[in-house]
Amino acid sequence: MSDTHTFDTLRLTAADDLYRFDVPADPQIAPDGRRVVYTVRRVERETEKKYTNLWLVDAGSGRSRRFTHGKWSDSQPRWSPDGQTLAFLSNRSNEEQAQIYLIPVDGGEARPLTDLKGSFAAFEWSPDGTKLAVQFRQKDADALEREKDEGKKKLGISYRRITRADYKFDGVGYQPQERWHIWVIDAESGEAMQLTSGDKDETEPRWSPNGRHILFVSNRSEQPDMNLDATELYLIPAGGGDMRQVETRAGRKFSPVFSPDGAHIAFLGRDKPGRWYQNTRLYVAPTNGGDVSDVSGSLDLHLTPATNGDAFNESAPFLPVWSADGRRVTCLATTRGNESLVSMAVFEPNDEPLWVVAEPGVVGGYTFDRAGRRVAYLWSTLDDPAQLVVRDVDEAGQGGEPHTLTAFNPWLAEIEPGEIEEVWFKAADGFDLHGWILKPPGFVAGQQYPSILEIHGGPQTQYGNMYMHEFHYLAAAGYVVTWSNPRGSQGYGEAVTGAIYGQWGTVDYDDVMAWADYVAKLPYIDPERMGVTGGSYGGYMTTLIIGRTDRFKAAVAQRVVSNFLSFYGSSDLNFGLENLAGTAAPWDDMATNWAQSPISAIGNATTPTLVIHSENDYRCDPEQGEQVFIALRRLGVDTELLLLPGEGHGVSRGGRTDRRIARLEAMLGWFEKYLK
């Protein structure tokens, strides 16, 4: 709370505050470290459209200015090697088709560089600034043919022929037949040359330091959709020619980056196919073959982001970053409710890691200048969605003092927040667990409050020291809001994350109930007015809870996983349930799949339950929530089903704002009905 305000002069968090957030993303520091370009997204309430523009800030003075303007989406800004030009994606000339644009940093208009039909993903400047390597997917030939005829275009497709299991993806829909390939674009003329082709995806292009080759990731197994972790690293001449595989090690590989001299490649990965609970680790391989180093060594750290947030969840790729002398690599590390930056020695495995950023909070994307002496990153804390921060790094790789450059969302100073307490507590078997408690604004000691227990998705994610608008909204209505990280969560070591592999609904359920026990004993909690909610895996656990206990007086089950037997294959994960949950295929072990399915215990449910699902959820098919709703109706339990049209799995974080608000208001209305 601000010292200059009293409770009477401040207002409470509202659902429609979602319209007010400016959401920064993708901080890109200039090669000389003097400026940072980033994106800011805003919502236009009248049309529900979201627009994104580029902003520039001076890293020394903090002076910031909007660099591009207009009602369109400008994204993925990337500095040319000389720092004079920015390449970025924009749909300014066609709302449905983004192209690469170039704009001088010190003045001038943006000019389109490309005019290709399809989708752009990652791209990178060549070391000499004359070309860009691009990950691009062309439109399907039949789609291009339909666009030539207005009648055919209006009618749309007449059928889909599907031959691979990866035919749909949440947030995208049905995938085109064309695959992702590597292209090279001339930075002056826009002339495009396709380097790869065929029925395999090639992604994440990176230039070699001498500009002669392009590194990329590809799964070139005979059936990539059946071997999800069979990605490998490949090199191809920048002017075209035969590709060759880089010798590494078995297991999934991603985010490869050349060392400054080009002699080595750092990459992230896992070494046990099918075990998705594994930590992401850092490896280094010689470019021309040789022994691969596991740089992570004995560090029990997950080196990719995994923290849940709802006001800020977009940013740049989280790539390993080499030091200028090629001796260290810096990565993001998810650990104990935080996301930090850790620097590791590549060739001296006994050296202790150095923490470049280690305060409580979450790093949301980061880039280093060419010298590796300054890092720009977005930073979220429990009371602030995100600010842009820079800090200098010394020769040893140690981070200096942080300097905040921005003041996004100053209107939050008008809001009366509740007090948040971080808690460590004991599970039933004595294991140490981590949680947080948010008291309502205007909390009065000696009074008992209703409470809402939130359960995160994943399960291989974490709650952390990151701002959550939803929690503040519910607390503003007079609830104590609590959340924790049960076993199965990320950030507490690989053994903790893998503790529920093959046995969802066992020790994780016990941990959630241990948290409920801890909360219920607090003097300000009314144990007769406790609610529970969660989405995705949190929806799984909420549904499991109402089938096993009646201690909660109301529940809101969101983006539900209810039935492993039908979830298998209906999700865009398809058979990935085997890798995520550790189950066998249903026809090989129906009993175990059924035992881990919340629907198997739904006949015991008596808790009034609101079910919320998105109609276009390709991760957890709507039928998963519909099964729960129909079962509860048949059982005579108070229930409703709220369906959100046009939305995918990530509705609570990135859905259309009016639908996000409808979801929040429905949740609160349900708890108000049964807890008050």
Q: What is the DSSP string of 120-161?
A: EEEEEE-TTSSEEEEEEEEPPHHHHHHHT-HHHHHH--S---
Place of tokens 């799964």: 219
Q: Which two tokens stand for residue 587?
A: 């026809």
By DSSP bridging, strand 85-90 and strand 74-79 are antiparallel
Question: Helices (H), strands (E): how many in the chain?
Answer: 12, 38
Closest CA to 31 of 517, 370, 432, 392: 370
Q: How far apart are CA 512 and CA 518, in angstroms?
A: 10
Q: Helix, strand, or coil here: 180?
A: coil
**Residue 536 annotated to the active site:** yes
537-548 vs 507-520: helix axis angle to the nearest 10?
Answer: 70
Backbone angles phi, psi at 589, to 5 degrees: -155, 75
Taking each helix axis as running N to C, give the angle between helix 469-476 and helix 657-675, from 0 to 180 degrees, rounded to the nearest 10: 40
Q: Which of 73, 75, 218, 536 is catalytic?
A: 536
Count CA atoms closer than 13 A to 592's CA, side-chain side: 15
Tokens at 340, concatenated: 């930090």
Task: Find out whether 254 and 269 touch, Cβ atoms under 8 Å.
Answer: yes
CA distance 267 to 93: 36
Specify the 3-state DSSP secondary structure of 7. Answer: helix
Q: What whole-number distance in Å separates Cα of residue 587 and Cα of residue 580?
A: 18
Which residues, listed in sequence order, are joined to residue 376 by a DSSP beta bridge?
367, 390
Is 649 annotated in the active site?
Answer: yes
> Residue 320: is the preceding peptide bond cis (ω within 30°)?
no
Residues 6+ apart with CB under 8 A from 591: none
Q: Which of 218, 264, 649, 652 is catalytic?
A: 649
> Phi and psi dihedrals of 372, rounded to 5?
70, 20
Q: Which amino acid is at 136?
A: F
C-alpha closest to that of 481 among 669, 668, 613? 668
Distance CA 335, CA 497 (A): 12
What residue spans of 436-588 are helical by DSSP H?
469-476, 494-497, 507-520, 537-548, 564-570, 577-581
In the block, tokens 């599907």 appear at 162
Burial of 565 (0-12, 13-18, 19+ CB in 10 A): middle
Return the C-alpha torsion angle 373, 377, 383, 385, nearest 10: 170
Residue 205 CA to residue 542 CA, distance in Å, equals 41
Q: Cβ(406)–Cβ(64) under 8 Å? A: yes
Whole-angstrom Cα distance, residue 261 to residue 96? Answer: 40
Q: What DSSP character marks residue 16?
A: G
Supply 393's token pair.
């790094």
Rounded to an integer, what distance in angstroms lies between the CA atom of residue 235 and that of residue 213? 6
List all residues 6 or more positions away from 370 whose beta carbon is below 8 Å from its beta carbon: 31, 32, 33, 324
User: Could you tell me how far CA 445 lies from the centroid of its own chain?
Assistant: 38
Q: Which residues are catalytic?
A: 536, 649
